[in-house]
Amino acid sequence: MQECGYPSGVDNNSSETEQANFISAVFKAWDRHINRIRLIDFSWQYDISSSDVNQWVVDYNMLGHPYEDAFKAYLATLGLNNFDSTEKEAMQHLRDELLARSWEK
């Protein structure tokens, strides 16, 4: 799975806890389908800057779109860590899931 992710922003009716729970749910699904899923690539490790968000809105032709604000919130909060490098709950869930499978040393 390429670019697997879930936003943590309240503007997407989400939260850090929901994002963290998504990480655990992905691993549970992977466990059930281990023979069919070879790799999961989470979207990105850190949230991105507002300037990058604004550029991607232009790149994806979302400027002026009715869902522009939701799209911005989605892009801005996909990281497993905040833009300022502080950790979100999802990062600990990722570590926990990796350790549970002995995939992290």
- The pLDDT of residue 61 is 97
Q: pLDDT category, 3, cuts 50, 70, 90?
A: very high
Q: How far apart are CA 46 and CA 55, in angstroms?
A: 17
pTM of the entire structure? 0.91
Encoded tokens for 51: 């300037």
40-85 confidence digits (pLDDT tens): 999 999 999 999 999 999 999 999 999 999 999 999 999 999 999 9
Determine whether 101 is exposed, middle or buried from the number of CB atoms within 10 Å of its CB (0-12, 13-18, 19+): exposed
Q: What is the gyration radius of the CA atoms in the chain, in angstroms? A: 15
Q: pLDDT category, 102, cuts 50, 70, 90?
A: confident
- The pLDDT of residue 104 is 66
